[in-house]
Chains A and B, each alone.
Chain A
Amino acid sequence: QKEVEQDPGPLSVPEGAIVSLNCTYSNSAFQYFMWYRQYSRKGPELLMYTYSSGNKEDGRFTAQVDKSSKYISLFIRDSQPSDSATYLCAMGVHSNYQLIWGAGTKLIIKP
Chain B
Amino acid sequence: DTAVSQTPKYLVTQMGNDKSIKCEQNLGHDTMYWYKQDSKKFLKIMFSYNNKELIINETVPNRFSPKSPDKAHLNLHINSLELGDSAVYFCASRRTGEGEKLFFGSGTQLSVL
Q: State the A residues within 8 Å of B (CB).
A: 8, 32, 34, 38, 41-46, 49, 51, 86, 88, 92, 94, 97-99, 101, 103-104, 106
Contacts and interface: CB of A to CB of B under 8 A. Distances in A.
Given A43-B105, A97-B31, A34 B41 contact: no
B1 interface: no
B101 A46 contact: yes
A56 B56 CA distance: 31
B83 interface: no
B104 to A, nearest CB: 3
Interface of B: 4, 31, 40-43, 45, 48, 50, 55-56, 90, 92, 99-107, 109
B48 A97 contact: yes
A104 B101 contact: no
Given A42-B107, A44-B43, 8 more contacts: A8-B40, A46-B103, A51-B99, A97-B50, A98-B56, A99-B102, A103-B42, A104-B42
B12 to A, nearest CB: 15
A32 B92 CA distance: 18
Contact of B40 (A43, A45, A92, A103): A103
Given A32-B99, A32-B100, A34-B100, A98 B107 contact: no
A101 B105 CA distance: 17
B3 to A, nearest CB: 10
Contacts of B50: 97
B107 A43 contact: yes
B100 A94 contact: yes
Nearest to B49: A97
22 contacts: A32-B99, A34-B101, A38-B41, A41-B109, A43-B90, A43-B104, A43-B106, A43-B107, A45-B104, A46-B101, A46-B102, A49-B101, A86-B41, A88-B43, A94-B100, A97-B55, A97-B56, A99-B102, A103-B40, A103-B42, A104-B42, A104-B43
